[in-house]
């Protein structure tokens, strides 16, 4: 097999894996969310997909794995291995610009940049960071958090003081 054949196979596998959507926010692909970390081909031809969950206890992780296996099998890849990488830990900064746009288009406020280093210790703070949460409906920054916990662990509930609409916000991590 030539290197161009291998690249063609990897491109097909990457395209299939990149199209898998997040089970909790189906407007986002795993690539948009930054969960899809990489894809390689082992010497025996097995496609090895690396994913990093939004947090280690993410209940959607099993569904992500199964969806990846299904999508890759449908694309003709019989041997697939899914590896979960917990280091470096996922950051909301990994959400792509397209992913942030899709969230806002679906009425979910995207997270603000965190800007934390991708490796090394994470500083401990005793107070939550100040968040600039804009209303995805009208764009106002005049919002209030109504609950730290939303429909999924990675979201909080907010209300816009300008237009009065409630909305979800993806938490900064």
Q: Are residues 73 and 138 in the same domain?
A: no
Taking 3-state DSSP, the helix, strand and coil percentages for the chain, each rounded to the nearest 5, stand at: 25, 20, 55
Specify the pLDDT at position 116.
63
- Position 126 in a domain: no
Domain residues for the domain of 160 are 131-172
- CATH code of the domain in which 23 resides: 3.30.300.130
Contact between residue 99 and residue 170 where contact means Cβ atoms under 8 Å apart: no
Give yes or no: residues 79 and 9 share one domain: yes
Evaluate whether residue 99 is within a structural domain.
no
The answer to whether residue 108 is domain-embedded is no
- The answer to the question of residue 37 being in a domain is yes
pLDDT in tens, 1-24: 688 888 999 999 999 999 999 999
Note whether 9 and 80 are same-domain residues.
yes
- Read off the pLDDT of residues 99-117 as tens digits, 9 standing for 90 and up: 999 999 999 999 998 876 5
pTM of the model: 0.85
């Amino acid at each position: 097999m030539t290197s161009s054949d291998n690249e063609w196979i990897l491109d097909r596998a990457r395209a299939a894996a990149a199209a898998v959507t997040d089970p909790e926010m189906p407007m986002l692909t795993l690539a948009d969310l930054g969960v899809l970390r990489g894809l390689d081909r082992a010497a025996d031809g097995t496609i090895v997909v690396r994913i990093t969950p939004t947090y280690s206890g993410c209940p959607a992780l099993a569904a992500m794995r199964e969806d990846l296996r299904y999508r890759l099998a449908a694309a003709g890849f019989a041997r697939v291995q899914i590896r979960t990488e917990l280091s470096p830990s996922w950051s909301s900064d990994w959400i792509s610009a397209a992913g942030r746009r899709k969230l806002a288009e679906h009425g979910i406020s995207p997270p603000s940049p965190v800007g934390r280093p991708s490796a090394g210790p994470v500083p401990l703070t005793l107070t939550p960071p100040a968040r600039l949460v804009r209303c995805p409906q009208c764009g106002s920054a005049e919002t209030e958090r109504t609950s730290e916990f939303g429909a999924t662990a990675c979201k909080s509930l907010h209300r816009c003081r300008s237009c009065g609409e409630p909305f979800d916000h993806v938490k900064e991590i």
